Structure 1
Amino acid sequence: MEKPLPVGYRWRSSRSFIVFTVTVALFAETFLYGFLVPILSYMIEVRLGIDPSETQRYMTTLLSMHGFLGIVAAPIIAHFADKTPNRKIPLLLALGGCFVGTGLVASTLNVAALFVGRTMQAIAGCAAWVVGHAMLTDHIDADNLGKTLGLAMTFVTAGIISGPTVAGAMLELFGYWAAWSVPLVVLAVDIVARLIMLEPDRSSPVPAATQDETTGLLSDDSEGQPTHGDAASTSTSTTLADASSPRHFYQIMLSDGRVLAGLANTLLMSSIFSGFEATLPLHLRDVFHWGSLPTGMMFFCLQIPSFFLSAAAGWMRDRQGLRNPTALGWFTLAPLLWLLGVPGDDKFPWASADTNGKPIFVTTMLGFGLFSMLVRGAGSLQVTWVVKEKQTKDPLIFGPHGGSSRAFSIVEMAFGTGSMIGPLIAGSLSETVGYYYSTTVFAITCLALSVVTYKLFDSKTAKPARPADSNA
């Protein structure tokens, strides 16, 4: 007797609802990550009673450890996620870890609780990113992948924008616990969407030729020699085992220059933004005497252009490719990064806090947010195109369930590395030689990466090649 389908199966398992569920999950994770930034100094100095001279060190450590834990956790999470036919359970586990971690961070019972909560948030957030992006890759065809990831990035940007903005405003207007009530509502919406979702089967189909080869043939051999079918079946099983091994996957992917360039793009973008998060609150407090609300608005200026234009950027990538827009983006961001360090620096009296410093800084932040849409997500999209290209040529190259989770694990590792070194580099440079030289170092790196991107990225949409005809 055929098992009846669950209530609402059609819409609960539809591509649109899966995309919605994943984007809500990504929004929740980025919202929670950014939410902490403008109120972290308050938590350290007021709730924990730590001397303000130690604030930068604690902020740098807490933000950097998020990236470090992502590097460690991503390949482990991806390995098991690619062996799991249904990705819903890993998403729910990620939510549970995030909920508990958020509670510990908000409580600020002591320094240990803050670090333990941050650890749980980092691992859970890593799981949500790896599994969520893998779900999008599994259910979206290559021709529409850029547009879909662009839509997802709109939600991600919404989380990045609203997190610091809401945190700063709620803390200043309504108080500490009123501010933390907002993430609880976001998590509630997230868990409801994940419980409703039904994920259809995603197993990679075994090509007909492979199935024919593995069909056992009857043999009259009285000596019990292995049949041709037995040998083929054993060979195929060995091939599948090799394809599923982590070493096999990483050897293939990391030997492709396009993948390395994509990871470099992700690492630098993550480094820049995490560097902003670690240094901007204190820099703006010291230079312009701004509190949490205007600081939160600066993060809003940084993100708002991408919120409106990410989907358009994804559409453009599907049709024009990645090379030219991304290389142009890095080239344009270099002078903008340099200019961000000018206001308030003694070498530029025309841009002091009392003259033109504030309007220059705000305008530059908006410009940086506008042109950063050309590079945001470009690295992960390049890696995804490579995976889809290789899996179209050989559906079992990365095992029966594909390699989407592992692909995004290396992207997450690059992102985590950037999240770790960004605050370390920006924070240490700001403390030792000044904020101006900190932004100048990142500006020079942007120029170098624009050249690398132009040489290695796909010049046009990387549509996966068709599998070779067996009769050719």
Structure 2
Amino acid sequence: MAMPTIDTLPWGHRWRSSATFTLVAIIMALFTDVFLYGFIVPILPYMLEDRLNLDKSKTQSITLVLLSESALVGFCASIIVGHIADRTSNKRALLLYSLATAMVGSLGLAVAESAAVLFISRFIQAFASNAIFVIGFATMAETIPSDRMGQAMGLVTMAASVGTSAGTMLAGVLLELIGYWPTWCTAFALLGIDAVLRLLMIERKRGANFPSPAQSEAASLLSQESMEENCYSYGTATHTTTILPNKSLPSLSEEKEKAGLSFYIYVLRQRRFLGGITSFISYSMIIASFDTTLPLHVRDAFNWGSLQAGLLFLALQGPGILLGPLAGNLKDKVGTRSPAAVAFFVIGPVLMVMGVPGDGRWKWQSWFDEGGRGEVVYTVGMVVVGCMIPLLSGVGVLELTAAIEEIQNECPQIFGPRGGNSRAISIANMSWIIGIFIGPIISGVLTDKFGYFQTNCILGMLRIPLLLIFLLL
């Protein structure tokens, strides 16, 4: 089959289809996604009380339900989006459809004058957000070279941290300064920039090269005999830089395509895949547990208000902005197993120490309450946890997509002609949502029943079996 010549390629094909530009477009898409998620939080009270004329006593409950709707929609839609994305060769088109859906949902939220329109619009926006997450990361996995995925994930982590903080902060400030509709215009402007980048992006799979006059028009293909031999020998190699190496995988010589439920049953039998899921759930639980317990604890223990609590959250997220790319480079060089093990090893004891200030149940704890030592210890502990977060961020996605790639390299057709990256990312997304959901429940219930110190001790000790799993299996 003849290859297209340089003259027939679209304008700017080389840079528009490059891995670098694709990464920029995906980072912008994910940045816009998290920006919009946080954007609505500070303006929701105004929308509910002034535009919808609801009773102020209902604001808190409706806000909780509306934000919880996103998690529920994301969990239910992940498998659907992943299945569709793995059945199409044009993920760029799916990204454009998801952007259009996000625009519809955001516009619906902006013009909503009834609770029904508000919830429907949030449903649409949440579905689009889930699609952007799954398809965006799947596109990265299929485009970015595997030895640069850690660095790419570091940049994504940095962009997500900035987007989360910027969306919430900008919406709150602009609503006070310039009003409701000008505030929404900033969100739509960002969506417009995102649209331009997605339209310019040309999808190209990893390993596809630009044609040159010296290139042959014929491409060599693996024979069926070679593919069967690879499938038969799969699982004989060992991998020492993964979280949970596949020490002994079954022979795939007679395996048929894994579609539907059989795909999920098969991948969930792989140790590396399970390691990625475990790390992602644990990571999201750490983040979510702080959302539930931190504001109340610092109020009761240190008499701190929302300003100090906000600065502590900045201490938790800020290091990810600075250290994300460095942590990504580290993962590219040494793998994900060692950085994740170090992070869990450090976070466990730090959580325990952070629970001591303000507890005051034993005499030895009084040392922390003298001269502001408790506040210093707690703040330093938060910064340390924030510095460890970049080592955990993205590990789940990296492990799941690496496990899929490892299998497909030996048996290319086992997950179908389009591969299984999108379905793997959908599982990662569901794992994240599970952690975000159960993290606040576990930490909240334990704190109410036993206290903040005991809760942090339990959460800290849970890191020990995770560390052993990562190191021994």
Q: TM-score, normalised by structure 2?
A: 0.78
Cα pair 2:23 2:144 within 8 Å, conserved: no
Cα pair 1:22 1:132 within 8 Å, conserved: yes
- What residue ranges of structure 2 are gaps of 5+ in the alignment? 209-218, 229-252
Task: Please state if 1:366 is matched with 2:383.
Answer: yes
Match of residue 276, structure 1, among 290, 313, 335: 290
The aligned residue for residue 85 of structure 1 is 89
Cα pair 1:60 1:278 within 8 Å, conserved: no
Aligned equivalents of 1:34, 1:366: Cα separation in 2: 22
Distance apart, 1:52 and its partner CA: 5.7
Distance apart, 1:177 and its partner CA: 5.3
Aligned equivalents of 1:43, 1:438: Cα separation in 2: 36
- Equivalent positions of 1:216-227 (< 5 A) are none
- Equivalent positions of 1:331-342 (< 5 A) are 331-342=345-356
Over 3 Å counting, the alpha-carbon distance change for 1:213 and 1:109 in structure 2 is closer
Task: Answer with 42-51 or 358-367: which moved more.
Answer: 42-51
Aligned equivalents of 1:72, 1:44: Cα separation in 2: 27
The aligned residue for residue 208 of structure 1 is 222
Over 3 Å counting, the alpha-carbon distance change for 1:184 and 1:382 in structure 2 is same
Cα pair 1:168 1:296 within 8 Å, conserved: no
Cα pair 1:91 1:194 within 8 Å, conserved: yes
2:160 partner amino acid: V
Work out the percentage of aligned pairs sharing the same amino acid: 35
Q: SS state of the match for residue 395, structure 1? A: coil
Distance apart, 1:74 and its partner CA: 0.8
Q: SS state of the match for residue 243, structure 1? A: coil
Aligned equivalents of 2:62, 2:107: Cα separation in 1: 19
Aligned equivalents of 1:361, 1:172: Cα separation in 2: 32
Distance apart, 1:396 and its partner CA: 1.4
Match of residue 303, structure 1, among 317, 325, 339: 317
Over 3 Å counting, the alpha-carbon distance change for 1:168 and 1:268 in structure 2 is farther
The aligned residue for residue 382 of structure 1 is 399
CA displacement, residues 384-416 of structure 1 (integer Å, 9 cap, x when unaligned): 221111111112121111111111111111112
Distance apart, 1:434 and its partner CA: 5.2
Cα pair 1:60 1:427 within 8 Å, conserved: no
1:4 partner amino acid: T
Aligned equivalents of 1:386, 1:104: Cα separation in 2: 39
Over 3 Å counting, the alpha-carbon distance change for 1:257 and 1:383 in structure 2 is same
Aligned equivalents of 1:120, 1:341: Cα separation in 2: 40
- Equivalent positions of 1:86-125 (< 5 A) are 86-106=90-110, 109-125=113-129
Over 3 Å counting, the alpha-carbon distance change for 1:433 and 1:183 in structure 2 is farther
Aligned equivalents of 1:176, 1:281: Cα separation in 2: 28
The aligned residue for residue 197 of structure 1 is 201
Aligned equivalents of 2:358, 2:172: Cα separation in 1: 23
- Equivalent positions of 1:28-67 (< 5 A) are 28-37=32-41, 49=54, 55=60, 58=62, 60-67=64-71
The aligned residue for residue 137 of structure 1 is 141
How many residues in Structure 1 have an aligned counterpart in Structure 2?
Answer: 430
1:307 partner amino acid: I
Over 3 Å counting, the alpha-carbon distance change for 1:159 and 1:397 in structure 2 is same
- What residue ranges of structure 1 are gaps of 5+ in the alignment? 215-238, 457-472
Distance apart, 1:151 and its partner CA: 2.4
Q: SS state of the match for residue 6, structure 1? A: coil
Distance apart, 1:81 and its partner CA: 0.5
Cα pair 1:270 1:422 within 8 Å, conserved: yes
Match of residue 407, structure 1, among 424, 432, 437: 424
2:305 partner amino acid: W
Over 3 Å counting, the alpha-carbon distance change for 1:444 and 1:174 in structure 2 is farther
Distance apart, 1:189 and its partner CA: 1.5
Match of residue 421, structure 1, among 424, 430, 438: 438
Distance apart, 1:71 and its partner CA: 1.9
Cα pair 2:142 2:205 within 8 Å, conserved: no
Aligned equivalents of 1:184, 1:284: Cα separation in 2: 37
Cα pair 1:13 1:200 within 8 Å, conserved: yes
Distance apart, 1:273 and its partner CA: 1.8
- Pairwise CA RMSD of aligned residues? 3.7
Q: SS state of the match for residue 208, structure 1? A: coil
Aligned equivalents of 1:45, 1:446: Cα separation in 2: 43
Aligned equivalents of 2:289, 2:48: Cα separation in 1: 19
Match of residue 413, structure 2, among 371, 387, 396: 396
Aligned equivalents of 1:130, 1:431: Cα separation in 2: 36
